[in-house]
Every structure is written in structure tokens, then in C-alpha cells.
Amino acid sequence: MTQRGLLAGKCAFVTGASSGIGAAAARVFCREGAAVMLVSRREDRLAALVEELRGKGYEADYVKADVVCGGEVSAAVDRTVSRFGGLDVAFNNAGAGAMQTPMHLMPDEVYDTLMDTNVRGVWNCMRHQIRVMLARGGAIVNTSSTAGLVATPVAAPYVASKHAVLGLTKAAAVEYAAQGIRINAIAPGSTHSEMIDTWLQQDPGARELLLDAAPLPHIAEPEEVAEAAAWLCSDRASFVVGATVPVDGGWTVR
């Protein structure tokens, strides 16, 4: 399909693409004209989404990979280049979450999972994406969270991991901006996802808590967050480097 949009003619790489913000980003990026490689651990969901996108005339493919494993990420990036002819934009969205429990009762496994997925995953992705982007430049967007800006009511290691994502984003942005690679981050607030929706089902008071916490009384749809990522990846954000863009209905303004 001949497509014009924010990302027309670009080759994109989206992690965490099997659900939530990542799946929404795959749809938004395709709609905006990109050829999109979907990356996640859940192959059945990836295959179904790629079939949906191709059915609409978009160019999309998938690779099953775990961002915690550098070798799998490297292979996925190389597959993107061989499949689409290059890599122009990347949305590093894969992540893990956990609800707030007292730190002194939290098992080491929770810390390890959150830090490995949320921090090492971004580290692995950026290293290999930058490796191929050096030839012609590109744009990378990493998903942090409002928990990367303030202490939100989630597990402490999650807060730490999302702060670390912003640190990695800023360091890499400074290092590679002069070489034509723009790197930024988004900080989503309450967004319909597997984790949030499960919480809403388990805790009848959670919805009111979330709605009262932001000036805009609204839980975002994944597409609303994906739109911000698409803009940051596009040439219209050409002078935006090392920024953190809250997509949170004003939650962090207070």
C-alpha cells in the first residue's frame, strides 16, 4: 500500500508489540506509512497482529525475541535490516510491571525481572539499533513511565527501573545526536494495558483512584500513547533530543 504519513517510507522496530501500547504502536506506525517489524515473546499474538496489518495492506513482519537476551535482540535487528532494507526508527516499549508490596517482603526475583526487562532490555535494544543506525541516522524512543519521574504506587524496583530508562536515554542521546540519531523517551501515565486492566478488575476502587490523580480524568487508550511515540520518531520532531515527554493526562504536573 502506498501510504503517506508521519513515518512514510521508514523502517520501524517495535518491541513489546504483542499487546497494549506496543500493539497499538504497530498499528499507528503502519498507518503512518512505516514498514514495521514487531518484536515480542508471544509468537501467536505477533502472528495474528501481522496478519491483521497485512490484511489492511500494510507492510509488517515479526520476530519472536526476548529483549533480556542480547543475542536475540541482535538477530531481530539484523532481520529487520534484511527484511526491510534498513532501520530508521525504533520504539523500545517492552517492559514488565509489578504491584506495590513492602520492600522488605519483596523477593529478589521481582527485582531481577523488573530490572532485567525494563533496563537491560532497553540497553540491549539501543546498542544493536544504534549499531545499524550509524550508517544513515535514525530515531529511537524508549518507554519509561510516570514512575520514572516520581514515586508512583507500584513496586519500588519498577520505579527504579523506569528512572534508569531515562538515564540511559539521556546518556545515549548526548552520545549519538551528532551522528544523526535522535533518542527520546515517553513517560506514560495510566493506560489500559494487561497490568492496569487486571488491577482494575481486582480492586474496585482503583479506577476512581486513577481518575482522581490527573487533571484529565481519563485512563488513556494505548493508541493515545502510541501517537506520541510516532511523533517523536518522525522528522517533525527533528529538534527534540534527550527529552522525556509525559503522556499522562497531566498527572505529573501536580
Answer yes or no: are the C-beta atoms of 115 and 58 closer than 8 Å.
Answer: no
Is residue 176 annotated as a catalytic residue, yes or no? no
Q: Is 77 helix (H, G, I), strand (E, B) or coil?
A: helix
Which H/E stretch holds residue 89? strand 89-92
206: phi then psi, degrees, rounded to nearest 5 = -65, -40
* CA dihedral (156, 187, 28, 237) positive or negative: negative
Taking the C-alpha atoms of residue 67 and residue 165, their distance in angstroms, rounded to an integer, is: 14
Task: Burial-class residue 105 by CB neighbours within 10 Å (0-12, 13-18, 19+).
Answer: exposed
CB atoms within 10 A of CB 112: 12
Task: List the catalytic residue out of 58, 62, 158, 176.
Answer: 158
Q: Residue 143: which residues within 8 A CB-CB, separation 6 or more?
A: 16, 21, 91, 92, 93, 95, 165, 185, 186, 188, 229
Task: Burial-class residue 59 by CB neighbours within 10 Å (0-12, 13-18, 19+).
Answer: middle
Residues classed as catalytic: 158
